[in-house]
Chain A
């Protein structure tokens, strides 16, 4: 079974600075997808960024980028120019690439605090 591990329960960063959230995963599959989700307090979870395992290029979405190291099974999220609105729980998630299977396996989450 696949597992996802986020070893940083909490992180904090000064506004406008850059922060990196760590995620490692374990799988024997070669085809899969990785995601970072953001869950603000009392709000729904939203997708931040997605990476297909077959793509060597790291995904980027505006201020959010990932460092995908397939051999090391590492998938970190970098947030540049941190903003107060970035404060939330961040979850790393894994999904198999097998067609039809869509369930996500989540990590334990990292609570990100932005200091003004």
Chain B
């Protein structure tokens, strides 16, 4: 499978615990995005990377959230001291930045569903 893969697919945790999600983008894609999707809503942008540089962060990304893409390949999204309001699907997407030719299509993973009890 050469698509975007996310792990784990499901995570149940207790309030106050830390969780980490991993995203492996399509190998030649230089851009990677994280979105959050709550039940019955559309995805909301959290952050994105070009290679290893984090270029933009949403105000939704509180201090308890941190994302990394250390070698410009896979990315991790860590949530510290989880709260019940963090329960959501966390979606990863990747694309190939085409420079002046514009942005390529976003390819999404299946998501990591977080349930905070």
List residues of A whose CB falls within 8 A of some B CB: 4, 6, 9, 42-47, 50, 91, 93, 95, 99-109
Interface residue SS majority, chain A: loop
- Give the chain B neighbours of A43 by CB distance below 8 A: 110
Whether A108 contacts B91 by the Cβ 8 Å rule is: no
Whether B109 contacts A108 by the Cβ 8 Å rule is: no
**CB nearest to A92 among chain B residues:** B42
Selected contact of B110 from candidates A42, A102, A106, A108, CB within 8 Å = A42
- Which of A44, A47, A50, A106 has the most chain B CB atoms inside 10 A of its CB? A44
* CB contacts between A and B, total, < 8 Å: 55
Q: With A and B bound together, what is the CA distance between A76 and B48 in angstroms?
A: 28
Whether B43 contacts A91 by the Cβ 8 Å rule is: yes
Minimum Cβ distance to chain B for residue A59 (Å)? 13
List residues of B whose CB falls within 8 A of some A CB: 3-4, 31, 33, 35, 40-45, 48, 55-56, 91, 93, 95, 97, 100, 102-103, 105-111
Selected contact of A102 from candidates B42, B44, B91, B103, CB within 8 Å = B103
Whether B33 contacts A102 by the Cβ 8 Å rule is: yes
Whether A46 contacts B40 by the Cβ 8 Å rule is: no
Q: With A and B bound together, what is the CA distance between A50 and B105 in angstroms?
A: 9
Whether A45 contacts B108 by the Cβ 8 Å rule is: yes
Minimum Cβ distance to chain A for residue B82 (Å)? 23
Q: With A and B bound together, what is the CA distance between A34 and B105 in angstroms?
A: 12
Q: With A and B bound together, what is the CA distance between A104 and B109 in angstroms?
A: 15
